[in-house]
Amino acid sequence: MQILAISGSLRHGASNTVLLEAAGLLAPAHVHIDLYDRMGALPHFNPDLDTLDGTLLPPIVKDLRARVGRADGVLISCPEYAHGIPGSFKNLLDWLVGSAEFPGKPVALLNTSHMSVHAPAQLTEILGTMNARLMPEAGVTIPIGRQRDAAAVLADPDLSAQLRKAVELFIRTVGS
């Protein structure tokens, strides 16, 4: 099973990225969690480039869409900035709106802060509009803090148990 993980943060060592890295480390052997790391390189969304024949679509966008298409599901962990999702992450989502690969794709949201309430609500609205198959039962908030890495998350019995439960539920739901 192939899962694409997308962090909504560009910051090196961001808690959202760390959480997704930890998810990849604890996934069962038959599941590969691939962390998308090219968000910052995506060009600004331009609908003039998103033609039906795809001839004007930038190669990096074609690659993003292909990776979404190959994935059985998508894990998203996105920070909240100024009561919303970061512009770079919204840009990534905008490139997926016109794609044939994203509608119906199973998606779970992982959050790293109980203080983040606006971004998850916005993501739920946006992803619903994009026809994602949202899996709220597999979504979880795991407050890992800023000074952790994936190994530290896995070493914490409470955090790793919460993350393992969410990942296993997502995998079971995607696989059914």
In tens, the pLDDT along 71-83 reads 999 999 999 999 9
Confidence of residue 147 (pLDDT cuts 50, 70, 90): low
What is the mean pLDDT of the segment spanning 26-50?
A: 97
Helix, strand, or coil (residue 75)? strand
What is the mean pLDDT of the segment spanning 141-156?
A: 89
Give the pLDDT of residue 72.
98
Q: What angle do CA 69, 84, 103 make, to 5 degrees?
A: 20
Residue 56, pLDDT above cutoff 70: yes
pTM greater than 0.85 (yes/no): yes
What is the mean pLDDT of the segment spanning 119-142?
A: 96
Q: 67 with 105: CB under 8 angstroms?
A: no
